[in-house]
Amino acid sequence: MAAERHSVRSGAVRGPAFEPGTVLVTGGAGFIGSNLVRWLLDNTAVQVVNLDLLTYAGNVESLADVFANHGPGGSGRHFFVHGDIRDADLVADLLAGNAVEPGTDRAIPTADAVLHLAAESHVDRSILGPGEFVSTNVQGVLTLLEGLRTELDVRPRPFRFVNVSTDEVYGSLGPNDPAFSETHLLQPNSPYAASKAGGDCLVRAYARTFGLPCITTRCSNNYGPFQFPEKLIPLMITRALGDQALPVYGDGLNVRDWLHVDDHVAAVWLVCTRGALEDEVYNIGGGFEIPNLDLVKRLLGLLEKPMSLIRYVPDRLGHDRRYATDTRRIRERLGWSPRRNFGEGLRRTVTWYLENRTWWQRVQDEAYRASHALYLAHIPS
């Protein structure tokens, strides 16, 4: 498979391969989800059932090429369902292959893997309204796990449930602390991180108690095309293009580890098909740490915009100081390593936003909503 050619060192993979025929991707119209769906259809032979509620950050325009190339008029390998992971009846039907794609007469094939990405994911929004995060990120996971438990009781078969999580569940690091390993305590500091940690704990419990075939991945900060412009990199790009102030929290020295979305989705598939259930968790990181302020300055340089656009705003409540991921497990046991150089990946990302203004301008007001509530309304434009 292409995934192996591009992401795996020869001889590094251990254990038997798992080869699903149909994958249910939740949240497949979001940033990481749409990139994963596209990557799967371009690099594997699987059929993809894409379940997305199409909340503010889910956008079918991000899948325009997928619908054209792999929908009913193309290869026929992509099935789209507008729905909620908290809808137990819908989840049961999708897992069992008892549903028809809305708007078509195509029967949806029975799933033998779930790649779970559907989530509320923006820390700022979780500060403004934690309840929706708990509902989606905890209750939603519970609904999926219960649905899978029932399905495998009725129709036992080889299966994988990959729970795509975040390094934010580990909390915050000091400047000289070692990077987060998979055995690091869960110490979430935001409602978003706490809700993801709650979902992670449910996945672990269902694997240990009921024997469900579950693996969790925890990634560092992603960047790349189709990212909703409320997140740091597209927020700064889109505001700089409008010569608007760029808000930087606190002193700007909070450090993040950046991972290109293409490297992330390749790793998720590798974990699904080659990961060991006994490993339980795999960290996925880009291995490139940079303070937020330095990143913003890089973006301004690429866009040829003045540094005077930077505005410091009061620090975010519960703001984690530093994230860094220890990725030795996935590197040594599965042979994965990131392919994208950060500098080149960032340049290509800036180019994508320059060339796709229509995509992000349509959602700009909603993208800035939480930012306006927290700080944008209080700084000059």
> Any idea which residues carry the catalytic annotation?
167-168, 192
Listed in sequence order, the residues at least 6 apart from 160 whose beta carbon sits closer than 8 Å to its beta carbon are 18, 20, 112, 113, 114, 213, 214, 215, 272, 273, 275
Residue 100 to residue 109: CA distance in whole angstroms: 9
Burial class of residue 186 (count of CB atoms within 10 Å of its CB; 0-12, 13-18, 19+): middle
Phi, psi of 364 (to 5 degrees): -65, -45
Nearest Cα residue to 53 out of 77, 30, 78: 30
Strand partners, 114: 24, 161
If one counts every other C-beta atom within 10 angstroms of the C-beta of residue 340, the result is 21
Please check whether residue 244 is in contact with residue 381, taking contact to mean a CB–CB distance below 8 angstroms: yes
Burial class of residue 97 (count of CB atoms within 10 Å of its CB; 0-12, 13-18, 19+): middle
Query: How far does Cα 276 stand from its chain's mean position?
Result: 21
If one counts every other C-beta atom within 10 angstroms of the C-beta of residue 95, the result is 24
Strand partners, 282: 217
